[in-house]
Amino acid sequence: MKRLFTAVWLWLDDRIGISVLLKPMKHIAPQDAKWWYVFGTATMISFIVQVVTGVALAFSFIPSSSQAYETLVFITNNAPFGRFLRGLHYYGASAMVLMIGAHMAQTFLFGSYKFPREMTWSTGVLLLGFTLAMGFTGQLLRWDQTAAWSVVVAAEQAGRVPLIGDWLARFILGGTTIGGATLSRFFAIHVFVIPGIMFAFIGLHVWLVLRHGISEPPTAGKPVNPETYRKEYEELLEKSGRPFWPDLAWRDFVVGTGLIMAIALLAFFIGPPALDKPPDPSVLNADPRPDWYLLWYFALLALIPAKIEGYLMILMPALIGIMLLIIPVLNNRGERAASRRPWAIAVVSLSVIMIGSLWIAGQQSPWSPNFQALPLTEKVIGATSGPVFQGGRLFHDKACLSCHLIQGHGGRRGPDLTYVGDKLTRDNIIIRIVNGGGNMPAFGTSLKPQEIDALVAFLQSRKRPIRPQDRSAMAQN
């Protein structure tokens, strides 16, 4: 029997060339390329998870504006393993974004983008862009209320591009409004166009890794010199190189297995993101938010100064992309070790801090009004009748509470007014209410004089409680 299998294998291998195809797996790599080098493979494993689960989901997903939502409800609630598959696809996307970020940071800190691997880095940068584009278009395919409004947000952003903005916006919407043409084009882009390009670029990226070899871990004081690097690298491989399979690849398999297990556990126990309401553009009580990997950008759009926002919205992503692409062209020689490149550590650290801070800000969204703020209770108002009570009620009815906090109730868009009575005089409060200012609308034309009086009475009553010892000290004075 064994002889038969061997004969069949040899015949197939001769006719198909399987051994030849797999030969690159045994290419010689530096023996010190260990745990720091697993992120590239982890990214590819995440991509494979996405392809496999995406194909499975496509068996039931109908990319029609009128039916997609129902098919997602079916996949989530009725189809066997549907909820789990959606979860795998969602956490697989998250893993891919995280892993490609880690891969990029490691490559940058190790100076692996330098000669002769400039194009390996640049193709990786493009793959990062495609990954984020997949994340965004994937969220749109969820085709719920958030997805539909996110298409509008994307169209509005594209509209700011000089000269061709209006065309781009129409291309994204599939016309002048959300409609039947909107979803199917995103389906085609998410399922065919970008993955097709990604397959090509992943192939090119891997080919370049094989062509130039896996970079050796950097050594401080040993700069890259394009004139001598290739010779030194060959000598290193000859001296201490190891075949990638299996001497080095086992770590990739360990990390890959851990990654897939983590994705599966999250998908099983937490599940996919809940579907929002159906994508009905006539329902205006919507609060669209991007998935976590783009939440930082959502926050950025709220925090950058309005006057330069249009320029930043278009120029900043373009500049970041161009900078990333040309980094190796500008700096392809010299020290690779992070310890000799403090600016490289600073760039990565600042990027992580900036994205992390914006992400937290995006989670909290203090700039958004709190539409769910409930009327203040009598206890919070501190009165059951009279101007202070009326003012407390008006504070909710006139939507002041949507933007201001009173004892932890309300919104965070404006200042916390819990103790405003200690800070502002009656006149100052009136001026601010009537004229607005800063980021506050003027209420002079929408409030009656008696309403302003009641609001002022309420706000003046917002004072720190006097402690007993302070009270007695005041009495003594």
Stretch that binds other proteins, among 129-137, 152-160, 202-210, 254-262 (CB under 8 A): 152-160
Count of residues near other proteins by CB under 8 A:
68
Stretch that binds other proteins, among 43-51, 255-263, 434-442, 465-473 (CB under 8 A): 434-442
Residue with smaller CB distance to other proteins, 340 or 398: 398
Q: How far is the CB of 414 from other proteins (least distance, A)?
A: 9
Tell which one of 83, 398, 432, 463 touches other proteins (CB under 8 A): 398
Task: Please give the Cα distance from 267 to 223 (Å, whole number).
Answer: 45
Task: Please give the Cα distance from 114 to 107 (Å, whole number).
Answer: 10
CA–CA–CA angle 158, 137, 141 (5° rounding): 125
Tell which one of 102, 210, 302, 383 touches other proteins (CB under 8 A): 302
Q: How far is the CB of 253 from other proteins (least distance, A)?
A: 41
Task: Please give the Cα distance from 351 to 81 (Å, whole number).
Answer: 38
Half-sphere exposure of 12 (CA within 13 A, CB side): 9
Residue with smaller CB distance to other proteins, 308 or 346: 308
Q: How far is the CB of 270 from other proteins (least distance, A)?
A: 25
Residue with smaller CB distance to other proteins, 89 or 409: 409
User: Does the protein bind other proteins through residue 92 (CB under 8 A)?
Assistant: no
- 234 forms beta bridges with none
Task: Please give the Cα distance from 4 to 271 (Å, whole number).
Answer: 47
Stretch that binds other proteins, among 10-18, 157-165, 209-217, 254-262 (CB under 8 A): 157-165
Among the listed residues 439, 423, 348, 433, the one whose alpha carbon sits nearest the alpha carbon of residue 395: 433
Tell which one of 196, 258, 356, 436 touches other proteins (CB under 8 A): 436
Task: Please give the Cα distance from 408 to 477 (Å, whole number).
Answer: 34
User: Does the protein bind other proteins through residue 402 (CB under 8 A)?
Assistant: yes
CA 307, distance to chain mean position in Å, is: 25
User: Does the protein bind other proteins through residue 368 (CB under 8 A)?
Assistant: yes
User: Does the protein bind other proteins through residue 419 (CB under 8 A)?
Assistant: no
Residue with smaller CB distance to other proteins, 328 or 410: 410
Tokens found for residue 135: 């994340």
Q: How far is the CB of 141 from other proteins (least distance, A)?
A: 14
User: Does the protein bind other proteins through residue 331 (CB under 8 A)?
Assistant: no
Over the window 94 to 113, marking each residue x when it contacts other proteins by CB under 8 A and - when it does not, the resulting string is --------------------
Residue 224, judged by CB atoms within 10 A of its CB (0-12, 13-18, 19+), counts as buried
Helices (H), 17-144: 18-22, 39-58, 68-77, 82-109, 118-141
Tokens found for residue 338: 């992070």
Stretch that binds other proteins, among 132-140, 151-159, 349-357, 378-386 (CB under 8 A): 151-159
User: Does the protein bind other proteins through residue 160 (CB under 8 A)?
Assistant: yes
User: Does the protein bind other proteins through residue 232 (CB under 8 A)?
Assistant: no
Stretch that binds other proteins, among 21-29, 34-42, 174-182, 252-260 (CB under 8 A): 174-182
Stretch that binds other proteins, among 2-10, 395-403, 418-426, 462-470 (CB under 8 A): 395-403
Contact indicator for 454, 391 with CB cutoff of 8 Å: yes
User: Does the protein bind other proteins through residue 153 (CB under 8 A)?
Assistant: yes
How many CB atoms sit inside 10 A of residue 6's CB?
10
Residues 263-292 contacting other proteins, CB under 8 A: 278-288
Among the listed residues 344, 350, 360, 395, the one whose alpha carbon sits nearest the alpha carbon of residue 374: 395
User: Does the protein bind other proteins through residue 317 (CB under 8 A)?
Assistant: no
Residues 118-147 contacting other proteins, CB under 8 A: none
Task: Please give the Cα distance from 248 to 400 (Å, whole number).
Answer: 62
Tokens found for residue 120: 């390996």
Among the listed residues 274, 292, 272, the one whose alpha carbon sits nearest the alpha carbon of residue 87: 272
Q: Please state whether beta strands 409-410 and 242-243 pair in parallel, antiparallel, or not at all (unpaired).
A: unpaired
Q: How far is the CB of 280 from other proteins (least distance, A)?
A: 5
User: Does the protein bind other proteins through residue 67 (CB under 8 A)?
Assistant: yes
Contact indicator for 88, 49 with CB cutoff of 8 Å: yes
Side chain identity at 99, as an amino acid letter?
M
Q: How far is the CB of 65 from other proteins (least distance, A)?
A: 4
Task: Please give the Cα distance from 388 to 394 (Å, whole number).
Answer: 10
Q: How far is the CB of 302 from other proteins (least distance, A)?
A: 4
Q: How far is the CB of 293 from other proteins (least distance, A)?
A: 18
Helices (H) and strands (E) counted in the chain, each on its own, are 22, 4
User: Does the protein bind other proteins through residue 148 (CB under 8 A)?
Assistant: yes
Contact indicator for 183, 337 with CB cutoff of 8 Å: no
Binding site for other proteins (CB under 8 A): 64-67, 148-149, 152-153, 155-157, 159-160, 162, 165-167, 169-171, 173-183, 185, 278-288, 298, 301-302, 306, 309-311, 314, 367-369, 371, 397-400, 402, 413, 436, 439-443, 446
